[in-house]
Amino acid sequence: MKHFWPTLGLVLVLASIGTAQGPALGEMAPDFTLPDQDGIEHTLSDYRGQRVLLYFYLRDDTPGCTKEAKDLRDDYAGYQSAGIAVLGLSFDSPASHIAFRDKYSLPFTLLSDQSEKVARLYGTQGRYPSAIRRSFLINEDGVILHIIKDVDVTTHSKEVLNFFETGSAQL
């Protein structure tokens, strides 16, 4: 009986790992509502009828996240012409997002998940106070077409555009 509590704790930890995987390919993207950098609420289901890049990133103004965001900015005309909404999501506050957006002239929406509820829903909640870098490519019907689990910030934007154009993740 003295080993009951440590074993129960291990079982609970393992059970939570199994449920933290997030949605799978072909599933409906879990719906959510979050504020953007300007405090305006965005609901994912409001984007039905257009394709969506939902990308989770670690923190505003860090080297890798800045590289990723600047590449998305530089390719943004391609996203617009392809009808793809770009939604970046981190745990940073709307005020932090404003500073990040303004510093780098980011033309897309940055969502604030300070409660980390959406990260838990998508299986992107990290051990540190930041999300796991991961992207979900969602079709017009709200179905997840592709998940990029190992995001390379140097090729991410081009990889996403290529997938939406060709249906292939290869560059």
Let me know if residue 141 belongs to a domain: yes
pLDDT band at 170 (very low <50, low <70, confident <90, very high): low
Full domain range(s) for residue 135: 23-166
Radius of gyration over alpha carbons of the chain, in Å?
17
What CATH code is carried by the domain that includes residue 72? 3.40.30.10
Residue 14: is its pLDDT beyond 70? no
pLDDT of 4 above 80? no
pLDDT category of residue 17 using cuts at 50, 70 and 90:
very low
Model pLDDT, residue 171: 53
Can you point out the beta strands (E) in the chain? Answer: 33-35, 41-43, 51-56, 84-90, 109-112, 134-138, 144-148
The tally of domains found in the chain comes to 1
Examine residue 99 and state whether it is found in any structural domain, yes or no.
yes
Crossing angle of helices 156-166/63-74, nearest 10°?
Answer: 40
pLDDT of residue 151: 96
pLDDT bin (cut points 50, 70, 90) of residue 169 is low
Q: Is there a domain that residue 41 lies in?
A: yes
52 is catalytic: no
Q: Is residue 1 part of a domain?
A: no
| pLDDT for 10 beyond 70 | no
166 pLDDT above the threshold of 50: yes
Could you tell me the sign of the dihedral formed by the alpha carbons of 116, 121, 124, 126, in that order? positive
Residues 57/72, Cβ–Cβ less than 8 Å: no
Q: Within a domain: residue 33?
A: yes
pLDDT tens profile 50-97: 999 999 999 999 999 999 999 999 999 999 999 999 999 999 999 999
| pTM for the model | 0.86
Q: Mean pLDDT score of the chain, rounded to an integer?
A: 89
Strands of the sheet with 51-56, listed across from one edge: 109-112, 84-90, 51-56, 134-138, 144-148
Residue 5 in any domain: the answer is no
Task: Spot the catalytic one: 44, 53, 65, 84.
Answer: 65
pLDDT over threshold 90, residue 2: no
Residue 129: the pLDDT is 79
